[in-house]
Amino acid sequence: MSLNNTQRIVDEWIKINGVRYFNELTNMALLSEEVGELARIIARKYGEQSFKENESKDSLADEIADVLFVLVCIANQTGVNLQEAFENNMAKKTSRDKERHLNNHKLK
């Protein structure tokens, strides 16, 4: 699925199930909340924290998808074409960092 398709699917879902997009500030707060939930899972799964008795250990993919959903909502409501933005960003990174990481002794 392309990012363009993802944006279209989220937009259709919002129009059918969500009534309307939350405003940009609300979605930014929701994004922060979702990133925090993702961070909690990563801290427990890969970090030094342990899971609580009632916490799900298999929600990493779901939390990542929650972050993606809110990011797509923000892109849709602000007119950002994620496919184009991502392709441009990858070209920028490739040009800027072409040899930077290959020559980083810390990564070897």
Write down the domain spans for the chain. Answer: 3-81
**Rounded Cα gap, residues 84 and 69, in angstroms:** 18
DSSP per-residue codes, 24-86: HHHHHHHHHHHHHHHHHHHHHHTSS----TT--SS-HHHHHHHHHHHHHHHHHHHT--HHHHH
The domain defined by 3-81 folds into Helix Hairpins (1.10.287)
Give Cα 30 to chain centroid, integer Å.
12
Sign of the C-alpha dihedral computed for residues 92, 98, 64 and 34 taken in this order = negative
CB-facing half-sphere around the CA of 104: CA atoms within 13 A? 8
6-17: pLDDT as tens digits:
999 999 999 999
pLDDT of residue 29: 98
* Host H or E run for residue 87: helix 82-96
25-47: pLDDT as tens digits:
999 999 999 999 999 999 999 99
49-99: pLDDT as tens digits:
998 888 777 799 999 999 999 999 999 999 999 999 999 999 999 999 888
